[in-house]
Amino acid sequence: MLRFVIRRREKELSYAVSSAVAILVSIILSLLILLFFRINPIMAFVKGFLGPLITLHGWASIFYNGLILLLCGVGLVIAFRAGVWNIGAEGQLLMGAIAATWVAIYLIPDAPPLVLIPAMFALGFVFGGLWGLIAGILKSELNVNEVLSTMMLNYVAYQLVYYLVMGPWANPLTNYPVSKPFPENAWLLRFSGPLPISLPTLIIGILMVIFTHFLLFNTKLGYEIRAVGSNPDAARAYGISQQKVIVISMFLSGGMAGLAGVHAVAGGLLMPQLRRPEQISRGFGFIAILVAWLAGINPIPVIFTSILMGLIFLAGYVIQVLFARGLGVTNVFTGVMLLVLSIADTFRRYRISIEFHGLRRMRAG
Amino acid sequence: MDLWVITLFVALAIRMGTPLLLACLGEIYSERAGVLNLGIEGTMMLGAAIGFIAAYETQSLLFGFLSAMAVGGLLGLIHGVVVVDLRGNQMISGLAITFVGMGLSSLIAHSYVGRVLNVDAPQIRVFEDVPIISAIFCQNVVVYLAYILSIVMWFIVFHTRIGIEIRAVGENPIVAEASGVNVEKIRLICTVLSGAFAGLGGAYISLIDMRSWTDLLTVGKGWVALALVIVSLWNPLFALFISYFFGALYAFQVFLGIDINLAKMIPYAATIPVLAVASKLARRLGIPVLGKPYIREEEALHGV
């Protein structure tokens, strides 16, 4: 009988070391899995991971993905710190995208950019936040498992976008399921430097990271969030309202995913318009879980992990397209990375060895 | 309404509800033993893909279902080893299984998109002339298997020694360990079981319901099944009725005649209030240590 045995390390490894090892191991594992599907791992690495790094368009895509992941990821940091498993960033992002479309096409289409763009982000935050709030209130008031409620809300938001682009908001000029294009004043890329990256999103993203850092580590509410997340029983004993923490953290978390949704529809290289939900997000809300987790659930490192995951996500997509294997490569990457990360914390604190019939044969770490 | 229209509706509800029930039954066991398997969605998908390929190549439904169960069990085993032996995070590992399952199923079954399986499952035909009842009992053998499994698994959980041990492992692992139960072994077996059942449920969709494979075939049925585990209060018999109730919600999509994109929302949107009611009920009955790793040698010292 083969089994894993773990023993405590005398000295724990640092987060940076365990995260770096986890990323390396998961990239190698993912590429080896591709080998089974007759995709040359070396070619895949060169074209998928190195290819985007040498073109302007590649960097623009990395940052476009990265900014979505940054906003979703930093929001998830708040939720995870509060011990709330928000896996609904995907749906909250889509609600933000719906809000942006509503503002830009129907509410104030003729407004100047300085009014229109802030309004899109503001309403995106509110829509995403309210979508998160539903799950937050259900958890705090009725003890509804937030993993399941946020997941259900993902599917509802997904169908809602489908309904809008095929029904009431469909562009009458085309048969594709898309909305009308946003007015030019709503195009985020009008504000960009030499590299086509949306400056408004970049600024908001950095502000959100600073805000989250300040909130978590310099305010009473942040202290309460961390207390409820790390030790709910003790927090209750100190008279901290668990309900309040859950509701606020879900609202903020959802709101930031909503901001990401505004960027997702209005800040890319494609024409800004509401599209089919899988074209808006392709799973960013889930990959953001990796972003937050790789950052050790801290706001500042999210800046780096989001850009890194932006690259890894792009690599999966490039491999998918180049080797014509349909969907799946990015999902395998995400899954393998999550799996490796789920034991990274054990690896950080324990030595892992494999035993056969009680005899130790192999040793790792 | 014509009784035979209702009969058609019930038949459709059973067709849609059976995969939910199968996935739900396995997950009840792993959650009863204290392991949450969020990988159900991806496990169903990989089960559907592998099951379809196996059945298509051999033209044998039995072989398809067995392959799906094997691959589902394997995913369950991975989750079990990570969570039980390596004390990994249950949430992250479960999500990982879902993504691995989704990704691998797309890659593996890529060239099977658009192919149709022309093998019929054996039917059991009783009460053929009675409206409504016939929809329940004129069914293929897999549906009968699901009925029987619900009853057998209910009996095992509540009326046998192994059932007591499973519940003890979930409710209080320290006491269970002290009374000589192998906590890790039971948790591992139950997690493998949840994977195998999810694989079976997924294969039902690709082999009997759709008879074909398309990418992301299960579209959230695994997540709904996870919710139904709570709604059924971890009781396999309740799961039987609740799964078919939700099957009816899926069937509504066809019968309601509203915009298809809005109709597709119904099962997901309906899950939320149902889950809310059940969660209030479950607050007292819930399994207390769900989601926490069991750490034997340190538990006594630190009371993790």
The first and second tokens of residue B139, run together, are 């069914």
Residue B221's CB is within 10 A of a number of other CB atoms, namely 27
pLDDT at B302: 36
Confidence of residue B300 (pLDDT cuts 50, 70, 90): very low
Question: Chain B residue with minimal CA distance to A325?
Answer: B107
- Residue A112 gets which letter from DSSP? -
Tell me the per-residue pLDDT of B197-212, one tens digit each, with 9 for 90 and over. Answer: 999 999 999 999 888 8
Say how far apart CA B239 and CA B191 lie, in whole Å: 18
Q: Do A342 and B96 meet the contact criterion of CB atoms below 8 Å apart?
A: yes
Nearest to B88 among A160, A166, A343 (CB): A343
Q: For residue B34, is it within any domain?
A: yes
Say how far apart CA B73 and CA B87 lie, in whole Å: 19
Alpha helices in chain A (DSSP H): 15-36, 41-44, 56-81, 89-101, 113-142, 146-166, 199-218, 220-230, 232-237, 242-266, 277-280, 284-294, 299-322, 329-349
Residue B44 has pLDDT above 80, yes or no: yes
Say how far apart CA B107 and CA B117 lie, in whole Å: 19
Say how far apart CA B67 and CA A201 lie, in whole Å: 48
On average, the pLDDT of chain A sits at: 88
pLDDT at B299: 41
Most confident region among A107-116, B46-55, B176-185 by mean pLDDT? B46-55
User: By three-state DSSP, how is residue A192 classified?
Assistant: coil
Which residues in chain A are contacts of B216 at CB distance < 8 A? 327
pLDDT at B293: 55
* Residue contact A328–B91, C-beta within 8 A: no
Which residues in chain A are contacts of B105 at CB distance < 8 A? 328
Domain that holds residue B213: 3-298
Say how far apart CA B15 and CA B247 lie, in whole Å: 7
* Residue contact B280–A142, C-beta within 8 A: yes
Q: How far is A100 from chain B (nearest CA, A)?
A: 21
Q: How far is B226 from chain A (nearest CA, A)?
A: 7
pLDDT at B301: 37
Identify the CA nearest to A344 among candidates A296, A278, A308: A296
Say how far apart CA A107 and CA A307 lie, in whole Å: 33
pLDDT at A257: 96
Which residues in chain A are contacts of B219 at CB distance < 8 A? 155
Which residues in chain A are contacts of B107 at CB distance < 8 A? 37, 325-326, 328-329, 332
Residue type, A11: K
Identify the CA nearest to A39 among candidates A311, A317, A312, A322: A322
Instruction: Decide which of A362 and B3 is more confident.
Output: B3
pLDDT at A262: 96
Residue A30 has pLDDT above 80, yes or no: yes
User: By three-state DSSP, how is residue A93 classified?
Assistant: helix
Q: How far is B38 from chain A (nearest CA, A)?
A: 9
Residue B175, judged by CB atoms within 10 A of its CB (0-12, 13-18, 19+), counts as: exposed
Question: What CATH number is associated with residue A279?
Answer: 1.10.3470
Say how far apart CA A143 and CA A141 lie, in whole Å: 6
Touching check for A87 and chain B: CB below 8 Å? Answer: yes
Say how far apart CA A18 and CA B200 lie, in whole Å: 37
Residue B255 has pLDDT above 90, yes or no: no
Which residues in chain B are contacts of A5 at CB distance < 8 A? 85
Question: Chain A residue with minimal CA distance to B259?
Answer: A163
The first and second tokens of residue B226, run together, are 């996870």
Residue A7 has pLDDT above 50, yes or no: yes
Indicate the number of domains in chain B: 1
Question: Chain A residue with minimal CA distance to B293?
Answer: A346
Instruction: Decide which of B244 and B288 is more confident.
Output: B244
Q: CB neighbours of B227 closer than 8 A, spacing ≥ 6?
A: A145, A148, A152, B271, B274, B275
Of A110-124, A321-335, B48-62, B220-234, give the lowest mean pLDDT range.
Answer: A321-335
pLDDT at B39: 92
- Residue A14 gets which letter from DSSP? P
First-residue to last-residue Cα distance in chain B? 59
Q: Given CA atoms A260, A262, A267, A268 in this order, what sign does their dihedral have? A: positive
Tell me the per-residue pLDDT of A35-81, one tens digit each, with 9 for 90 and over. Answer: 888 888 888 888 888 888 888 888 999 999 999 999 999 999 999 99
Place of tokens 């192994």: B162
* Residue contact B93–A293, C-beta within 8 A: no
The ipTM estimated for the assembled molecules is 0.87
Confidence of residue A93 (pLDDT cuts 50, 70, 90): very high
Q: How far is B84 from chain A (nearest CA, A)?
A: 10
Nearest to A152 among B104, B223, B279 (CB): B223
Residue B295 has pLDDT above 80, yes or no: no
- Residue A273 gets which letter from DSSP? S
By DSSP bridging, strand A359-364 and strand A350-356 are antiparallel
Residue B171 has pLDDT above 60, yes or no: yes
Say how far apart CA B272 and CA A152 lie, in whole Å: 7
Which residues in chain B are contacts of A153 at CB distance < 8 A? 268, 272
Q: How far is B230 from chain A (nearest CA, A)?
A: 9
Identify the CA nearest to B275 among candidates A145, A5, A50, A231: A145
Residue A210 has pLDDT above 50, yes or no: yes
Say how far apart CA B232 and CA B25 lie, in whole Å: 10
Say how far apart CA B85 and CA B191 lie, in whole Å: 12
Confidence of residue A230 (pLDDT cuts 50, 70, 90): confident
Nearest to A145 among B87, B100, B279 (CB): B279
Most confident region among A186-195, B104-113, B145-154 by mean pLDDT? B145-154
Q: How far is A350 from chain B (nearest CA, A)?
A: 9
pLDDT at A326: 66
Confidence of residue B4 (pLDDT cuts 50, 70, 90): confident
β partners of residue B212: B116
Domain that holds residue A156: 61-304
Q: Do B96 and B38 meet the contact criterion of CB atoms below 8 Å apart?
A: no
Residue A135 has pLDDT above 90, yes or no: yes
Interface A-B, measured as beta-carbon pairs within 8 A, has a size of 164
Indicate the number of domains in chain A: 1
Which residues in chain A are contacts of B71 at CB distance < 8 A? none
Residue B290 has pLDDT above 70, yes or no: no
Q: What percent of chain A has pLDDT over 70?
A: 96
Say how far apart CA A309 and CA A158 lie, in whole Å: 23
Residue B254 has pLDDT above 80, yes or no: no
* Residue contact B107–A335, C-beta within 8 A: no
pLDDT at A79: 95
The first and second tokens of residue A357, run together, are 């019939």
Confidence of residue B303 (pLDDT cuts 50, 70, 90): very low
Question: Chain A residue with minimal CA distance to B46?
Answer: A328
Say how far apart CA A298 and CA A78 lie, in whole Å: 9
Q: How far is A145 from chain B (nearest CA, A)?
A: 8
* Residue contact B268–A155, C-beta within 8 A: yes
Of A139-148, B39-48, B259-268, give the lowest mean pLDDT range.
Answer: B259-268
Q: For residue B304, is it within any domain?
A: no
* Residue contact B106–A166, C-beta within 8 A: no
* Residue contact B98–A167, C-beta within 8 A: no
Q: How far is B9 from chain A (nearest CA, A)?
A: 23
Q: For residue A224, is it within any domain?
A: yes
Q: How far is A251 from chain B (nearest CA, A)?
A: 18
Nearest to B95 among A159, A338, A350 (CB): A338
pLDDT at B289: 47
Q: For residue A83, is it within any domain?
A: yes
Q: Given CA atoms A168, A171, A175, A181 in this order, what sign does their dihedral have? A: negative
Nearest to A335 among B81, B100, B271 (CB): B100
Q: For residue B303, is it within any domain?
A: no
Identify the CA nearest to B195 among candidates B56, B32, B25: B25
Q: Do B26 and B198 meet the contact criterion of CB atoms below 8 Å apart?
A: yes
pLDDT at A299: 95
Residue B304 has pLDDT above 50, yes or no: no
Question: What CATH number is associated with residue B68?
Answer: 1.10.3470
Tell me the per-residue pLDDT of A158-179, one tens digit each, with 9 for 90 and over. Answer: 999 999 999 899 888 888 888 8
CA angle B201, B202, B204 (to 5 degrees): 65
Identify the CA nearest to A67 among candidates A280, A284, A321: A284
Say how far apart CA B252 and CA B245 lie, in whole Å: 11
Phi, psi of B212 (to 5 degrees): -160, 170
Touching check for A238 and chain B: CB below 8 Å? Answer: no
Touching check for A182 and chain B: CB below 8 Å? Answer: no
Residue type, B276: A
Tell me the per-residue pLDDT of B45-95, one tens digit each, with 9 for 90 and over. Answer: 999 999 999 999 998 999 999 999 999 999 999 999 998 888 888 888 999
Q: For residue A184, is it within any domain?
A: yes
Q: For residue B234, is it within any domain?
A: yes
- Residue B85 gets which letter from DSSP? I
Which residues in chain B are contacts of A294 at CB distance < 8 A? none
* Residue contact B279–A147, C-beta within 8 A: no
Chosen from B92, B215, B226, B233 to mutate, greatest number of chain A CBs within 10 A: B92
Place of tokens 């890194």: A308
In Å, what is the CA distance from A62 to each residue of A51, A69, A269, B254? 11, 10, 12, 42
Say how far apart CA B49 and CA B100 lie, in whole Å: 13
Instruction: Decide which of B43 and A343 is more confident.
Output: B43
Tell me the per-residue pLDDT of A244-301, one tens digit each, with 9 for 90 and over. Answer: 999 999 999 999 999 999 999 998 888 888 999 988 988 899 999 999 988 889 999 9
Strand residues in chain B grouped as ranges (E):
123-124, 139-140
Say how far apart CA B166 and CA A360 lie, in whole Å: 30
The first and second tokens of residue A166, run together, are 């095929």
pLDDT at B25: 95
Chosen from A2, A144, A297 to mutate, greatest number of chain B CBs within 10 A: A144
The first and second tokens of residue A76, run together, are 């998830």
Residue B286 has pLDDT above 90, yes or no: no
Place of tokens 């995951």: A309
Q: What is the largest CA-CA distance in chain A?
A: 75
Confidence of residue B2 (pLDDT cuts 50, 70, 90): confident
Residue B291 has pLDDT above 80, yes or no: no
Residues 7-36 of A with CB under 8 A from B: 33
